[in-house]
Amino acid sequence: MLTVTLIAPLIIAPKIDAHWMDFEIFVQEGNRENLHLLLKQINSWVMRHLACALIAVLLVAVLKYAPTLLEQPEQLATITGIYAIISIIFAFIESLLAQEIYNLTANRTETEKSKITAHTPRMF
């Protein structure tokens, strides 16, 4: 578990950075389709991070309250708890980016709808 806890940030942090760079590129290009795809991808990563955190918390509970079942050292529960915290932090960071993308695409959609209705001739 220590290995997973140490390697996960080394893999996930560059992925999050790549998502931020993709976001900036898609905004500059005005590519809404890719923004929507990126939003779906980020939301799935948020769910993965939260699922990993939940599983880690459940494992910590089992290690703390049923130590005779597994007979594992106390450090395993601590390391697993740290992994849960890291997963929650990753989910939070990814959700911030997802919220930014959602706000940007929602604002653009509302602006486009108002432009369309402003230029639509009225029929009586």
Round the average pLDDT of the chain to a whole number and report it: 84
C-beta separation of 42 from 19 below 8 A: yes
In the chain, what are the domain boundaries? Answer: 32-111
For residue 5, CA distances in Å to 8, 10, 58, 82, 96 come to 6, 9, 16, 7, 22
Rounded CA separation 33/101 (Å): 12
**Whether pTM exceeds 0.75:** yes
Q: pLDDT tens across 21-74, in order?
A: 999 999 999 888 999 999 999 999 999 999 999 999 999 988 888 766 666 777
Residue identified by tokens 């089992």 is 62
**Whats the size of the chain, residue-wise?**
124
- For the stretch 21-28, contacts whose Cβ atoms lie closer than 8 Å and that sit 24 or more positions apart, written own/partner, are 23/97, 23/100, 23/101, 27/104
